[in-house]
Amino acid sequence: MSILVVGSVAFDSLETPSGKRERVLGGAATHFALAASFFTDVRVVGVVGEDFLPEYELVLTSKGVDTTGIERAPGKSFHWTGSYVKDLNEADTLATDLNVFAEFSPKIPESYKDSEYLFLANIDPVLQAQVRAQMPNAKMVAGDTMNYWISAHRENLLKVLRELDVLVINDKEVRMLSGETNALVAARKVLELGPKSLVVKYGEHGSAAYFSKDSFSDGETRKLFRAPATPQEEVVDPTGAGDSFAGGFYGYIASQGKLTPEVFRTAMFYGCVLGSLSVEEFGTARLQRTTRAEIEERFQHLKEISHL
């Protein structure tokens, strides 16, 4: 079944301990779409400038991603400049040039309207809500956010959270959103804000899912699931790891068509796999050359290192 993702399609200029790259293809929707494309059809809503040349679009379309909903606007694409030289786990933002993204107003092509799975990547919650309202028949809605929206646009964000089946954020965002430091107490508070389920990304420590009584229609008794990450010999570029996780996770769920506890748990493992692949090269390079066989191999590896 098809996923519609709305979010940034951008260029990133990056410095990490492994080197520097100028203006590589990036953006949350890009990483998400590539990761999800291994599992299901993906449709992107976003905006780019005149610098988004056909070679960049081909990165998406060659994986079967539908780019009809990527609007072309006069000017330049969103451009983020960041460094991970001090700390691979935390980006140091050097410049954020919103460019055409500053005036982004998501428009959903008619051909996208039958998408059953909606993913609201990290953008202004006002825009997330607009997209949600235009997709009344979506059978499942998941989303991401970030520290800026949590602290400065909290009220708008809270409206979006009430509409989500799954919120996928990192542990710092959970603490910020809940005001709690204990992981279990924090997760419970976030679930009280509306999302039926919460997925927390812990970087090299994997991820956790916290469930509410509304997570599954057939009543799962487990309140929690914990997935490991594959330790990485070298993290070349962490940019987009979280979006790739979300893409692998949600792509698998959409491919199954039914959200059972087992599908959810398996999706967490696929999220870890896609996240671990994405950091091995700059930008989207690693996901571009990933094969489905590699994904299955890593999935088995994750199972081996975590199952008795």
Residues found near its own copies in the complex (CB under 8 A): 182-185, 202, 204-206, 208, 222, 224-228, 231-235, 262, 265-266, 269, 303-308
Instruction: Name the minimum Å distance from CB 215 to its own copies.
Output: 14
- C-beta closer to its own copies: residue 149 or 210: 210
- C-beta closer to its own copies: residue 138 or 302: 302
Instruction: Give Cβ neighbours of residue 219 (< 8 Å, ≥ 6 apart).
Output: none
- C-beta closer to its own copies: residue 214 or 234: 234
- C-beta closer to its own copies: residue 11 or 269: 269
4's enclosing H/E stretch is strand 3-6
Tokens of 291: 């094969």
Amino acid 175 reads R
Instruction: Name the minimum Å distance from CB 148 to its own copies.
Output: 26
Q: Are strands 224-227 and 207-211 parallel, antiparallel or unpaired?
A: antiparallel
Q: What are the angstrom distances between the C-alpha of 278 and each of 54, 231, 240, 245?
A: 22, 13, 7, 9
Chain centroid to Cα 10, Å, comes to 14
Amino acid 85 reads V
**Spatial separation of the C-alpha atoms in residues 130 and 287, rounded to whole Å:** 30
- C-beta closer to its own copies: residue 104 or 250: 250
Instruction: Name the minimum Å distance from CB 18 to its own copies.
Output: 12
Instruction: Give Cβ neighbours of residue 124 (< 8 Å, ≥ 6 apart).
Output: 149, 153, 156
Instruction: Name the minimum Å distance from CB 49 to its own copies.
Output: 37
201 touches 178 (CB < 8 A): no
- C-beta closer to its own copies: residue 2 or 232: 232
Instruction: Name the minimum Å distance from CB 132 to its own copies.
Output: 30
Instruction: Name the minimum Å distance from CB 235 to its own copies.
Output: 8
User: Cα(first)–Cα(last) distance of the chain, in Å?
Assistant: 34
